[in-house]
Structure 1
């Protein structure tokens, strides 16, 4: 078996603090320029074009730009542009493309149509010399360096940080900027969970299905954690809002069914603790990623986040245990961590 520390994935997960420092240092001025354009054009809504991991970053943007900046944020349906050829009217929107590679034709097509309609366009990408970047009025370079593992890790947290950087620039808030500047150290502290997660992972070596639940800002984290587990461990993993899960899917629960709950401290913590009690009452096995005592107390496997952060930034740290768990579980199953079966680093959809 390959030594875990020799894999690209292990190194890239542990590069995340350095990537975030570089992004926050080098792209602050670009985010400020985008904020000026948004204010100058009185932009009143945002449309995000993305796929896969980047789509999960878009879910985060819905909450951050909505709660912190009062913007209505929707996710584009790229097939309307590339297959049906029935693009909707963007109106006075910012159309934001998010893509690690900047290569997918359907995402490029959304931004090309936005430019044709005269909308403001912006791009978050790790490849500023890419077809998608060519369609952006403003391009934020994720500054992640080459990401060689198929499963995206450092580019995802960079996307989240770039969205938070835009939000802070729009608010012109020194408090938000200060909180964001502390995130590289918070992610570094979260990486100290590696050994505890490595010890917990073998318990789930034969797990074939599970649920990941989150809500609010960490609705995105539930989706991204589920995606990492699917990609790397080939497990059937369904992400849910805790509220949606109670509307029907609760019937899936049986004795020992694993339910992972993402619930950092904040306004959602009390509700997520109630949710944990509800699934435990049906004999589910709760895995909790949290720094809230009331949530951790419900868990068969409590994974304590070591660095409390403001709730609006918590997805940047809360995803790290999910990345680590997927990596260690794949390693326990003797899977190829850097190249999961059947998928490629760049997927070009039309």
Structure 2
């Protein structure tokens, strides 16, 4: 079997996985609506590794859409350092795990329940696992199941699940309806980005990758940076856009590439950061939707994504692009992205 067989299939099948997950989520609408953000002092999202980065974006989106206080922590912090997490009052905890077996997440949820801190919602991809039976509401999205170690399809499918929660809780019927258009948009993005991913991933002159994303996109930038590390063993770091000027830009050389997950609302300010990195001699990949201002004008690489959807829900479309770049980088280095070095599918303590 060729290197990356499973990973490539899992990346390319995401639109179908999303469509299946949306069917599950639609059937669970009434159960999801039983949890109203106004009844809680805070909403917490948690996970480990990839799903912690998912939690960062999920919390940001939930607060943006509902106005309710929402934060994200690694599950190990909930378990080992609860005093920095819980504020008093009733908490809604949303725990995310691909396997449903990750030790830190299980420890965190058990402690949360034992201490009667509030209500628990779980999201996972496998039924009959410990996490899938722990919550007041357990959402299982089997279409995210994977054979690869590094998460791709599972991450985006579970993230879609948290997006549906935020849309339900905010009462945004328009966004809920628009979620059904994501599979078609995802298929288009996969087709349009294949050339860029191959060209960038196979460029042996690059030795460091920086992923920039702000707002709800920061957690996604973290995840794509992790994919580059896991699959290709490359130097890769994530940053908020404007934070990159505060020190990290010292790492820019002609072998460095800055990949910007640029928004429409703040696209000009974010593009100015990319322009600065071009001026310092770095290379820039501008990933933006069609309604973002054209900026920077001299990007080394540019991929314009379709913009028929609200910015609140379309950020998921950045994921297949970054995943494919990391995949191509791994193959160009003779590595097997299906089985990254030193990694296990599930971390059990």
- TM-score, normalized by length of structure 2? 0.91
- 1:114-193 aligned at under 5 Å gives the runs 114-118=112-116, 119-144=118-143, 146-193=145-192
State the Cα distance separating 1:165 from its structure 2 match.
0.7
Give the equivalent residue in structure 1 for 2:320: 320
Give the equivalent residue in structure 2 for 1:113: 111
Q: How far does the alpha carbon of each residue in 1:12-49 deviate from its partner, in whole angstroms, 9 at most, with x for none? A: 1111111111111122232441232335x712311122
Residue pair 1:296, 1:303 contacting (<8 A) in 2 also: no
**Further displaced range: 160-169 or 307-316:** 307-316
Q: Distance in 2 between matches of 1:219 and 1:82?
A: 24
Unaligned runs of 5+ in 1: none
2:59 is matched with which residue: 58, 62, 68? 62
Q: Distance in 1 between matches of 2:212 and 2:281?
A: 16
1:220 corresponds to 2:208: no
Q: Kindly tell me: are residues 25 and 77 of structure 1, through their superposed partners in 2, closer, same or farther at Cα, counting changes over 3 Å?
A: closer
Unaligned runs of 5+ in 2: none
Q: How far does the alpha carbon of each residue in 1:82-122 deviate from its partner, in whole angstroms, 9 at most, with x for none? A: 45686854531101111001111211121112222331000
Give the equivalent residue in structure 2 for 1:336: 336
Residue pair 1:255, 1:283 contacting (<8 A) in 2 also: yes
What is the DSSP-based 3-state SS (H/G/I as helix, E as strand, rest coil) of the residue aligned with 2:294?
Answer: helix
Q: Distance in 1 between matches of 2:255 and 2:126?
A: 44
Residue pair 1:100, 1:127 contacting (<8 A) in 2 also: yes
Residue pair 1:43, 1:94 contacting (<8 A) in 2 also: yes
Q: Distance in 1 between matches of 2:205 and 2:342?
A: 21
What is the DSSP-based 3-state SS (H/G/I as helix, E as strand, rest coil) of the residue aligned with 2:96?
Answer: strand
Q: Distance in 2 between matches of 1:129 and 1:18?
A: 23
Q: Kindly tell me: are residues 310 and 296 of structure 1, through their superposed partners in 2, closer, same or farther at Cα, counting changes over 3 Å?
A: farther
Residue pair 1:186, 1:309 contacting (<8 A) in 2 also: no
Residue pair 2:268, 2:293 contacting (<8 A) in 1 also: no
What is the DSSP-based 3-state SS (H/G/I as helix, E as strand, rest coil) of the residue aligned with 1:94?
Answer: strand
Residue pair 1:48, 1:95 contacting (<8 A) in 2 also: yes
Give the equivalent residue in structure 1 for 2:42: 45
Q: How far does the alpha carbon of each residue in 1:40-83 deviate from its partner, in whole angstroms, 9 at most, with x for none? A: x7123111220111111111112210110112122235445545
**Further displaced range: 137-146 or 196-205:** 196-205
- TM-score, normalized by length of structure 1? 0.91
Q: Distance in 1 between matches of 2:170 and 2:80?
A: 38
What is the DSSP-based 3-state SS (H/G/I as helix, E as strand, rest coil) of the residue aligned with 1:148?
Answer: coil
Q: Kindly tell me: are residues 85 and 324 of structure 1, through their superposed partners in 2, closer, same or farther at Cα, counting changes over 3 Å?
A: closer
Q: Distance in 1 between matches of 2:103 and 2:201?
A: 40
Q: How far does the alpha carbon of each residue in 1:162-218 deviate from its partner, in whole angstroms, 9 at most, with x for none? A: 111111111222211121111111111111034313441355334332211111121
Q: Distance in 1 between matches of 2:45 and 2:204?
A: 36
CA RMSD of aligned residues (A): 2.2
Matched positions, count: 345
